């Protein structure tokens, strides 16, 4: 068995693949957008190693095939490939990203292949030489890791501890090796199945072996699908359970699930029950603002369990709007929630303070799962949001124009995408013809088509504004995209795997808060950004921040600016922000027991 392992490890494709895998693992330790845990780093190491191994293995096999076909020495072929790849990288630019990436990978593979080929030619490898080579490789790995980790300090960030580096590297390597073992088991199983079921010669085994691989893959996919269904059912159930802090329905008739509501409190789900139970009272608003004329706000929420279909849920929302006379308020916020049904309470509550309670907010849930697992719900969410907007517009059209409220949109993260992409024709007209006067879209995911369409087609259109700070917000802007420069949710896309993203251009030209020491590495940067996206918002209740996907420190100011709310003094703004922090701490304490 050890001899078989030795023969396997001595194969050129395997050695080249392992070399590139180790190199990719080392590069994965460079700082990226967000700090990450050792478990996340282990998974990044595993993904990077797998990518490096596959690239090196395939590249070496191509070199082997070329050597066999031409009879030319491997080292000469490797040198020629490296030179050609370097030339391709020089010629290629941002207009040919795939060629540039292929040049990078081919160059690394060819140099590695040539070096290993020359090493294998040296005979008489004894224990001393093996020990020296092993020590040298270990030293190179350690020095390279140290170089990557030191980049954290250059960015003013705390580097990961040595123990975390060692444990994540060991765990990631173990995961990658285990994945490789599974592939080997699959291949052996397919070969055994062919041996058992057929008696064909080796020249006729190709087709049966292919179908054996397909059968094993189908069995694996079926098992994975069953597991996924189980996990999704558990997530849906988690969105239904009754929390002790939100077990009793509100008594107000101006919220869904309360007195006289047409929807049951139990059908609002976890997020809906929280949303309608946390509204500030008129007395609280007056205390915060130092006024004496506040009224009770209106909060309407339709759960995904409140009705079986989109049309039925929209009709329930309209019934709630008519019941509470929501369109008689000065400001009406149509919210699009995230995948779980969560609609950030901070901007809604800020608007309720600023408007002295003269505001109504309405939203409809479309799912109970985290946004990353709600991609299959995006189409239905967009259809539902558009239907609600159009029904409200129709309701307003039956009224005299001078009595209309200011109708605005709010969406955050996946809610921002579903709110924007609900409109079939991106642009100003699509919004105003449906009675929308303002919008605030926060942390819009990269796949959202609306934002890219309006910002690229009309970059100078002052009606749409993209801001990172309140100082960048133009008072003439009607529809505001609030994005942080370092928010992975707004930056991540699949093309990062093979193409350098614009935000990792020349260090001197990068946006604020983007690491000046991070370098784009094919595949590796992709895996880093995947986990950056997962960790984009690490929220501590009451500790408002303005970086990554955490926009809490920005929201009050942007609600006032984006919705053009007048008559808010600086003293009132400070008092409101203090109340929002206090409210979040109280909310967290209320959720904790459940």
pLDDT digit string, tens, across residues 64-93 = 888 888 888 888 888 888 888 877 777 766
The neighbour count for residue 428, using CB atoms within 10 Å, is 15
The neighbour count for residue 111, using CB atoms within 10 Å, is 18
Burial (CB count within 10 angstroms: exposed 0-12, middle 13-18, buried 19+), residue 290: exposed
**Beta-carbon contacts of residue 279 (< 8 Å; ≥ 6 apart):** 250, 252, 255, 296, 297, 299, 349, 352
CA distances 87 to 82, 83, 102, Å, are 9, 6, 11
Both ends of the chain: CA-CA distance in Å? 54
The neighbour count for residue 256, using CB atoms within 10 Å, is 31
Q: Tokens for 476? A: 């003439």
Q: What residue segments make up the domains of the chain, in order of their start?
A: 2-197, 239-487+542-591
Single out the residue of 16, 17, 38, 20 nearest to residue 29, CA to CA. Answer: 38
- Report the chain (594 residues): mean pLDDT per 10 consecutive residues: 58 84 93 92 95 90 87 84 80 70 84 77 61 71 83 83 89 90 76 67 60 73 76 68 88 95 95 94 97 96 95 98 97 96 96 98 92 84 97 95 95 96 90 95 94 81 87 90 94 92 90 88 95 90 91 96 93 96 93 64
Q: Which residues pair with 361 in a beta bridge?
A: 299, 333
pLDDT digit string, tens, across residues 164-182 = 888 999 999 999 889 888 8
Longest dimension (CA), the chain: 95
Single out the residue of 344, 309, 267, 272 nearest to residue 584, CA to CA. Answer: 344
Signed CA dihedral, 123, 127, 133, 134: sign only: positive
Cβ atoms of residues 548 and 514 within 8 Å = no
Read off the pTM.
Answer: 0.88
Cβ atoms of residues 385 and 364 within 8 Å = yes
CA separation for the pair 312, 386 (Å, rounded): 14
C-alpha gyration radius of the chain: 29
């Amino acid at each position: 068995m050890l001899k078989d392992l030795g023969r396997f490890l001595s194969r050129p494709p395997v050695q080249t693949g392992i070399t590139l895998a180790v190199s990719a693992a080392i590069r994965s330790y460079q700082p990226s957008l967000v700090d990450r845990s050792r478990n996340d780093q282990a998974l990044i190491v595993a993904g990077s190693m797998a990518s490096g191994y596959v690239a090196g293995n395939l590249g070496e096999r191509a070199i082997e095939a070329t050597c066999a076909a031409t009879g030319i020495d491997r080292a000469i072929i490797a040198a020629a490939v490296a030179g050609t790849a370097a030339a391709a990288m020089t010629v290629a630019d941002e207009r040919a990203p795939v060629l540039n990436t292929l040049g990078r990978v081919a160059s690394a593979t060819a140099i590695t292949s040539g070096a290993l080929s020359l090493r294998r030619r040296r005979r008489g490898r004894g224990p001393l030489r093996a020990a020296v080579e092993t020590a040298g490789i270990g030293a190179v790995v350690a020095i390279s890791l140290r170089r990557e980790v030191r980049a954290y300090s250059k960015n003013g960030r705390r580097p990961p501890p040595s123990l975390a580096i060692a444990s994540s590297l060991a765990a990631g390597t173990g995961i990658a090796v285990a994945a490789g073992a599974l592939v080997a088991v699959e291949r052996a199983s397919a070969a055994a199945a062919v041996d058992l079921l057929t008696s064909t010669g080796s020249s006729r085994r190709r087709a049966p072996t292919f179908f054996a691989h397909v059968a094993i893959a189908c069995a694996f996919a079926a098992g994975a699908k069953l597991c996924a269904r189980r996990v999704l059912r558990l997530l849906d159930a988690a969105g239904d359970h009754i929390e002790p802090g939100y077990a009793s329905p509100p008594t107000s008739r101006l919220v869904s699930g309360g007195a006289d509501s047409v929807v049951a409190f139990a059908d609002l789900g976890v997020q809906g029950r929280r949303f309608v139970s946390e509204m500030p009272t008129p007395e609280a608003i007056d205390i915060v603002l130092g006024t004496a004329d506040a009224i009770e706000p209106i909060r309407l929420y339709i759960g995904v369990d409140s009705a079986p279909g989109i049309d039925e849920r929209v009709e329930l929302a309209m019934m709630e709007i008519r019941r509470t006379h929501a369109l008689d308020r000065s400001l009406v916020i149509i919210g699009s929630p995230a995948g779980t049904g969560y609609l950030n309470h901070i901007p809604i509550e800020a608007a309720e303070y600023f408007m002295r309670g003269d505001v109504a907010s309405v939203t409809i849930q479309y799912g109970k799962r985290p946004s990353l697992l709600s991609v299959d719900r995006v189409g239905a969410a967009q259809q539902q949001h558009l239907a609600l907007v159009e029904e409200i517009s129709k309701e307003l059209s039956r009224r005299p124009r001078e009595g209309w409220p200011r109708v605005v949109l709010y969406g955050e993260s996946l809610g921002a995408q579903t709110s924007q992409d609900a409109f079939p024709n991106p642009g100003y007209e699509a919004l105003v013809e449906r009675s929308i006067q303002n919008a605030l879209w926060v942390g819009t995911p990269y796949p959202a088509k609306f934002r890219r369409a309006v910002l690229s087609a009309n970059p100078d259109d002052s009606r749409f504004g993209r801001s990172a700070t309140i100082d960048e917000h133009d008072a003439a802007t009607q529809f505001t995209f609030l994005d942080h420069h370092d928010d992975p949710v707004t930056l991540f896309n699949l093309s990062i795997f093979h193409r350098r993203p614009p935000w990792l251009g020349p260090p001197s030209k990068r946006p604020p808060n983007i690491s000046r020491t991070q370098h784009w590495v094919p595949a590796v940067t992709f895996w880093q950004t995947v986990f950056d996206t997962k960790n984009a918002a690490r929220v501590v209740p009451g500790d408002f921040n303005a970086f990554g996907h955490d926009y809490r420190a920005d929201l009050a100011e942007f609600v006032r600016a984006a919705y053009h709310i007048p008559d808010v003094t600086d003293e009132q703004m400070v008092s409101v922000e203090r109340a929002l922090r206090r409210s979040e701490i109280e909310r967290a304490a209320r959720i904790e027991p459940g």
